[in-house]
Amino acid sequence: MHIPDGFLSPTVWVATDVAAIAAVGLAVRKARKEIDDHLIPLMGVTAAFVFGAQMLNFPVIGGTSGHVLGGLLTALLVGPNAAILVMTVVLFVQAFLFGDGGILALGANILNMAVIGAWLCYWLYRWLAKVWRRKWLAAIVAWLSVVLGSIACGLEIAFSGTVPLFTVVPAMAGIHAVIGIGEALVTVSAFNFVKRLRPEILQW
Amino acid sequence: MQWRRTWWLIVAIIAGITVILLPFASDLPDGLERVAETLGLASRERPILTPPLGNYSLPGRERFIGMLIATIIGTILVTALAYWLAWMVKRGGEGLSW
């Protein structure tokens, strides 16, 4: 779901870059009070996990593949603000070193995968946890993080004026609804693994 | 610095698992690439710079070897950058009031 350069109009990439800079700036400010000596190495390890997981594409349907985004899992491990920073580091390295995602489109990718996929979905998880059983919640919100991110991606492409809104958004949401099942499975597996091994580090 | 060695060991295990699973990773286009192909967007791709390890490969190396080296370099780099950023943010929080 990494948008390359050329897909977004200048208006859209400038707007999303500005929004992403503001979001990362706010995350830095908030994370200052949250990051302690234990969280620093965990943020490094989580970045390694997200990077590795995003390299491993799995086949889905119709000659398409998908990969884990890891946003919700990151937020559950290091907290929502630190998660924005971890996801941003991964997206930055992917764009500049590997050409996975555009440089100008980096802001849009940060919004889709870090702000929506990690931060927003973490707070959605916390809010739903008050009214719903937690057993399946991580799976549902992890699935939703991929679908919401793909809808945002579709909207950014549509607002760039290249493809009609009602063509690109359903196409993106449809295929990512299937890819999101993989995200849900990996998130729940990793979440349960950590919960059994080191429940005290989970921020849930 | 025992704890620091433990964390790097976990990173090495993550990199190792990624490398082991790499041959089984799908080469099919991902969700956005598939949609872009279907809707005729793919030809609009215009990279603004040539990345040193573009498409997770090393120039002149076999695809798998290139991906393996790219995985190791990428894993070490994201870990070190996230660690450094976290450390800088924490240090800033201790020294600054904004």
| A92-101 pLDDT, tens digit each | 999 999 999 9
Nearest by Cα to A49 from B20, B56, B70, B17: B17
Are A44 and B56 within 8 A, CB to CB?
no
pLDDT band at B98; cut points 50, 70, 90 = very low
CA atoms within 13 A on the CB side of A57: 16
pLDDT digits (tens, 9 = 90+) for A127-150: 999 988 777 899 999 999 999 999
What mean pLDDT is reported for chain A?
95
- Burial pattern A80-117, b for ≥16 Cβ within 10 A else e, equals bbbbbbbbbbbbbbbbbbbbbbbbbbbbbbbbbbbbbb
- Distance, in Å, from the CA atom of A153 to the CA atom of A147, rounded to the nearest integer, reads 10
Give me the pLDDT at residue A158, please.
Answer: 97
Quote the radius of gyration of chain B (alpha carbons, Å).
19
Question: At residue A4, does pLDDT exceed 90?
Answer: yes
Mutation site, A36, A43, A148, A168, interface B, largest B CB count within 10 A: A43
Q: Which of residues 39-98 of B touch A (CB under 8 A)?
A: 39, 41, 44-56, 67, 70-71, 73-75, 77-83, 85-87, 89-90, 92-93, 96, 98
Q: Are the CB atoms for B96 and A28 separated by under 8 Å?
A: no
Percent of chain B as helix, strand, coil, to the nearest 5: 70, 0, 30
Q: In Å, how far from its chain's centre is CA A138?
A: 14
Nearest by Cα to B18 from B58, B71, B60, B66: B71
Question: At residue B97, does pLDDT exceed 60?
Answer: no
pLDDT band at B60; cut points 50, 70, 90 = confident
Give me the pLDDT at residue B1, please.
Answer: 60
What mean pLDDT is reported for chain B?
89
Question: At residue A172, does pLDDT exceed 60?
Answer: yes
DSSP for A100-154? -S-STTHHHHHIIIIIIIIIIHHHHHHHHHTTS-STTHHHHHHHHHHHHHHHHHH
Chain A residues with CB under 8 Å of B54 CB are 98-99
Chain A residues with CB under 8 Å of B3 CB are 41
pLDDT band at B20; cut points 50, 70, 90 = very high
CA atoms within 13 A on the CB side of A184: 16
Count of C-beta atoms within a 10 Å radius of residue B38: 17
Give me the pLDDT at residue B93, please.
Answer: 63
Give me the pLDDT at residue A135, please.
Answer: 74
pLDDT band at A60; cut points 50, 70, 90 = very high
Give me the pLDDT at residue A140, please.
Answer: 96
- Reduced to 3 states (helix: H, G, I; strand: E, B; else coil), residue A204 is coil
The residues with which B30 forms a beta bridge, in sequence order, are A65
Residue written as token pair 């790219």 = B70
**Residue A77 or residue B6, greater confidence:** A77
Give me the pLDDT at residue B94, please.
Answer: 66
Mutation site, B63, B78, B87, B90, interface A, largest A CB count within 10 A: B78
Are B54 and A63 within 8 A, CB to CB?
no
Are B54 and A99 within 8 A, CB to CB?
yes
Query: A9 vs chain B: nearest CA distance in angstroms?
Result: 11
Are B31 and A44 within 8 A, CB to CB?
no
Residue written as token pair 């997206």 = A91
Segment among A12-21, A168-177, B64-73 with least mean pLDDT: B64-73
Strand residues in B1-98 grouped as ranges (E): none
Question: At residue B96, does pLDDT exceed 60?
Answer: no
Give me the pLDDT at residue B72, please.
Answer: 94
Give me the pLDDT at residue A174, please.
Answer: 96
Read off the pLDDT of each residue in A33-46 and give the average, rounded to a whole number: 93
Chain A residues with CB under 8 Å of B51 CB are 95-99
